[in-house]
Structure 1
Amino acid sequence: MKNVKDILSTNLIPSRPNYEKPKESKESPSYGSQCPICQDRGIVLEGDIAYPCSCMETRKLENQFRHARISRELMNCRLDKFRFDYYSADLSESHREGAVKALNAAKSFVDDCLRSPYGLGLLFTGPVGSGKTYLAASIANELMEHNLKVLFLIVPDLLDELRATYKSDLNELDLLDSARSIPILILDDLGAHNYTEWTRNRLYSIINYRLNEQLPTVITSNLSLDEMEDYIGLRTTSRIIQSSRIFRLTVQKDIRLQIYQEREVKAK
C-alpha cells in the first residue's frame, strides 16, 4: 500500500470506490471557491491513502467553460429548458413553428456532432431577442458535457481582438488558428458591425477553412442574407450558406423584455 508521499511524487492517485459526490449546486460553477471536502487540494486523505475528490469533475467542467469562452450568463443554457411560451402564436403560428424547427435542428446538430466530427453547421437568423444565442449556447454546453472541444466567440469581441493584434502577427495567427481548427466553432452576433476589408478577410479565412475541412460552425445573426452580403461580402456569405442549414427565429416581443417583465411581476 502506497503512502501519501509516494502517491504525490508519482502523480498517480487511486480511484476511491463508492465515494459519495457532494450535492451539485443548481447555480453556475463558482470559480475560485474552496471545496468543503478537500479545500481545493483535489485529493481526500484517509490515513496514508489519497483519493481524488469528486470536485475534480466540476473543475474539469469549469476549465472547459473557460477554454470555450462561455460567459457565466450562458452556462446554464440547455436545449431541454427551451421555452416555447416566449413565442406567442399569431394567427398563422409562424413564431412557434420557426422555434420548433430551430430547436429540432439544434438537437439534430448535437447528435450529428457526437457521431462524427465533420458535417454541416447551423445559421440562426432573426431579430434581437429571438432566442438565437440561447440555442447556440445550449449546443455548446451540451457538446462540452460530452467532452467535445468548443469555442464560443462573440463576433464584435473577435473583431476587436483581431484589431488589437494588428501589429502582432504571432498573436493574430494564434487566434485565427484556434477559430479555424477547433472542432466546433460558435460565432455569435454576426451583425451590422463596422467591418473593414481587413476584418472581412479574417472572417473569410475562418469560414473558408472550416468549409474546406468540413468542420461544423454555428452562427447567429440578426442580418438577412442580403444584408449579410453587404456587410461581410458575397464570398463569405456564399460559403456560410454552403456549409450551413439555415433557420429563422421570430418573436412578437423581445424575449429579454419578456424575462424582465416576468421578474418584475415576481418581485411585486
Structure 2
Amino acid sequence: MSSSFEKHQKRRLISSYFSVVLSIALVLFLLGLLGMLVLNAKKVSDHFKEQVVLTIYLKDSAKEVEINQLEKSLAMANYVKSTKYVSKEEAAEFMKVQNGEDFMDFVGYNPLQNSIDVHLKADFVTTNQLDKISTEALNKNFVDEVSYDNDLVNLMNNNVQKISFWVLVISGIFTLIAVLLINSSIRLAVYSKRFTIKTMQMVGATKQFIRRPFIWKSVRLGIIGALLALLGMAIVLYYLNKTFTELGLLNNPLLIGLLFIFVFVLGIIITWISTHFATQRFLNLKTDELYY
C-alpha cells in the first residue's frame, strides 16, 4: 500500500516538474520569437522599402555615352542601392510575357522607352528624397520622365512607424504575461510541497535553508525549459533564414547571441524570483491556513 502511494506521489511530482518545464519552454520560446521579430523589424521593413523602384525614362535621342554616365553617377551615389538599364526591347519582351501576347502586333511598333530602374537604400526611400532625385534627373535634357509610386512610399513609411510602435507595446505586454505564467506554474509546484515547508519550519529550519532547495530545483527546471526554448528558436530561425535568404537573418550573429543569452538568463531569473516569493508565502502562513 505504502509502495503504491509512493509511486503515485512520484508520478505526480514528475508530472508537476514536466508541466513547469513545458510552461517555461513555451513561454520563453514565444517571447524569443517576439524578440526576433523586434530585432528584425527594421530589416524586414528595409527589405520592402528597397523594392520600391524609381524609373527614369530616357528620350530616344539619348546618346549611349550620356546614358552610361547617368547610370554610373547614380550607382556611385550613397543613397542608391542598385541600378539597372532596361532597353525598350527588354521592356517589350517583359510585357509580352506578362500579358501573354505581343502588343506590337497591334500597334505595329514599339512605343516603349529605354529606362533606368533605380533602387534606393531604405533610409532614403522618402518622398522628399525621391522628389530630389527626380528633379536632378529631369534637369538632364535626354531624360523624358521620372516615375515612382508616391502613394505607396507614403503608405509604407506610415505603416512602418505604426507597426514599430505596436510591436514594442505587444513586446512589453507579452513579457508581463510570460512572467505571470511562469510564476503561476512555479507557485503550483511549490504549493504541492507546502506541508513539507511548514514541517521543516516547525522543526527549527531557517527560511533561507528551506527556500534554498526549492530555488535550486526551480532554477534547474528553468534552465531545462530555457534550453528547449532556445532549441526551438534556433530551428525556426534556421528555416526562416533558409526560406527568406534575402533578409539575411543570420547576418548579425552578435545580436542573435545576445537574444539567446537574454532568453536563457530570463528563464533563470523568473524561476528564481517566482520560487522565492512562492516559498515565502507558505512560510508566512499559519498551519491551519495550509488547507485553504
Measured against the shorter chain, the TM-score band is: under 0.3
Normalization by structure 2: what TM-score? 0.20
Higher Rg: 2
* Greater fraction strand: 1
Normalization by structure 1: what TM-score? 0.21
* Greater fraction helix: 2
Higher relative contact order (CA 8 A, sep 6+): 2
